[in-house]
Amino acid sequence: MNLSGNDVLMVVGLTALVAASVWFILAWRSPAVFLGFFLWIHIEDLVRIMLGNLRLVFFVKGVLLAALLLGYAHRQWRLRRSLWEGFPAFVPLCVLFGLAVVQAFNPAIQHPLQPVIGLHAQFLYIPMFLVAYQYFDSEERIRQFLLFTFTLTALESLLTLPQMIFGPSWWYAIVGKPDTLEMFVGRAGARAGEDFFRPSSIFANAGRFYQYLSVVATIMVGGLFHFQQKRDRLLAYGCFFSLCVGVFITSGRTTVYLLVAAIALFLLVRMSRLGARVRVTFAVAGAACAMLWIVPPMLGKQAEFIQNLLVAPVSSFDPSAGNDNLFGRLMRYGTALQRATSEAGWTGHGLGSNSLGLYFIGLQTTGEEPGYAALVWEYGIAGLVLWLALMGTVWVRSLRAYRRLRGTPYQALGLAVVALVSFAFIYQYIGYQILQNYLVTIYFWTFAAMLFALQRLAEQEHEEFSDETGAA
């Protein structure tokens, strides 16, 4: 029996996936397994591209997450604990899921697999909260995860610099990606309407990368104030510098705004003895921006483009940008929501009708890009109301958890997570799709779980201190 190279690759890949799944089930609380899962979701796009855009690779993370959940469920069953232990919004989630099941039978659905794709995209990754909540049972595990995530993000961000300096052909030749450029259209001033290459690091497109940076940037700012050891702080500041490079190169306006907002938040809160760190944080961000203006022109590569990297964020306040300035885009998002409400009403067009994964079955999304409008398009008006109830409940519970962290070593990190949960309403409104973009969704729920795990750690430490005081 003669097997082709693709057949051998498929057999090896499936064998590796089965072995990894068994390992994930048996050792789901191991740092190697937990961090390995996050490493995979980072390199998945790269692996898929290098295998000739093999779409089956896209489902590997779902299999690995299912293995993690099986291991988690077995432990909860053995300890006679609730499967949803620690989840802050169980009832709103159940109601939203119930509506999703009803929408799976909407007469407007065009394909029988469409609801399956919708359920996969919008609900599969939420249980990551449960795994992360049980995994973060010590401060050391939280520290390891943060430093791992920050370092990985820094490396990905730095990769955008040679991608941009040497052009897309350099990177595409390495990974074997078809030479189809990710273009960015200048929105204001003399560069309005001009096309520029937008680096995407190891991801399939720049949009996925800068949306991910929007989430991690907020937590990284909190990490700068959280770490107590000098070595950890130095590493965190180095990672933050690299992240700023990636943020400015990808020219994601929302990412820039949220990064500045996160820094300003810590400045306004005026946490004790942290004034110097705030100044250093601003200095590091400024140095990253300055480097992008100085280094590339010295190398003689794309100097004109580099010197206009900030066109995207600056154009938000440029009247010449027309509908592409900040206020114009906000109005467009509002118009999209009105249009979706008018067309979808209370019945919607069915689960998955606006899912990002419809191309797997040969369909195109026919709804709206902005997140609130997308929810109305699929679920009807009730879907948006229930999503707001879900996220609103998480937000209120997050505020309560943060209040219990005040005065503890975990206060800075808790504030960063609260900021992230608050920003979620903005993410969804502008189309970041908290319930569909797997990278954003997984990290969002993982960081949310971290906040409640920090609350649990603080309460345990308080009880231990009380017991020691009582014994004395």
DSSP assignment of 237-255: HHHHHHHHHHHHHHT-HHH
DSSP SS3 for 183: strand
The candidate with the shortest Cα–Cα distance to 36, out of 61, 11, 9, 72, is 61
DSSP SS3 for 185: strand
One digit per residue, the tens of pLDDT, for the chain of length 472 reads 565 666 677 788 889 999 999 999 999 999 999 999 999 999 998 888 888 778 788 889 999 999 999 999 999 999 999 999 999 999 999 999 999 999 989 888 888 888 888 888 888 899 999 999 999 999 999 999 999 999 999 999 999 888 877 776 777 777 766 555 454 444 444 444 555 667 888 888 777 888 888 889 889 888 888 888 889 988 988 898 888 888 877 767 777 777 777 777 776 664 445 555 666 666 666 666 666 555 555 444 444 555 455 555 565 666 555 555 666 666 777 777 888 888 888 888 888 887 777 777 777 766 666 678 888 888 889 988 998 999 999 999 999 999 999 888 898 899 899 988 888 877 776 665 666 778 888 999 999 999 999 999 998 887 766 655 665 5
pLDDT tens sequence across 3-39: 566 667 778 888 999 999 999 999 999 999 999 999 9
Instruction: Count CB atoms within 10 A of the CB of residue 408.
Output: 17
| 3-state per-residue secondary structure call for 340-395 | HHHHHCCCCCCCCCCCCCHHHHCCCCCCCCCHHHHHHHHHCHHHHHHHHHHHHHHH
Q: What local confidence, expressed as pLDDT, does residue 188 receive? A: 40
- Within the chain, how many helices (H) and strands (E) appear? 19, 2
Q: What local confidence, expressed as pLDDT, does residue 173 receive? A: 76
Q: What local confidence, expressed as pLDDT, does residue 139 receive? A: 92
- Strands (DSSP E) contained in 244-361 are none
CB burial of residue 80 (10 Å; 0-12, 13-18, 19+) = exposed
- CA separation, residue 270 to residues 224, 225, 263, 281, 415 (Å): 15, 12, 11, 14, 12
pLDDT tens sequence across 410-461: 988 998 999 888 888 777 766 656 667 788 889 999 999 999 999 999 988 8
The candidate with the shortest Cα–Cα distance to 33, out of 83, 74, 68, 77, is 68
Whole-angstrom distance, CA of residue 118 vs CA of residue 135: 28
Q: What local confidence, expressed as pLDDT, does residue 189 receive? A: 41
Look up residue 371 and give its two tokens: 């997140």
The candidate with the shortest Cα–Cα distance to 296, out of 288, 306, 286, is 306
- CA separation, residue 379 to residues 77, 163, 329 (Å): 34, 40, 24
* Amino acid present at 73: A
Whole-angstrom distance, CA of residue 405 vs CA of residue 394: 16
Q: What local confidence, expressed as pLDDT, does residue 34 receive? A: 96
Q: What local confidence, expressed as pLDDT, does residue 207 receive? A: 79
Q: What local confidence, expressed as pLDDT, does residue 247 receive? A: 82
What does 36-87 look like in DSSP terms, one character per residue?
A: HHHHHHHHHHHHHHHTTS-GGGGGHHHHHHHHHHHHHHHHHHHTT--TTTT-
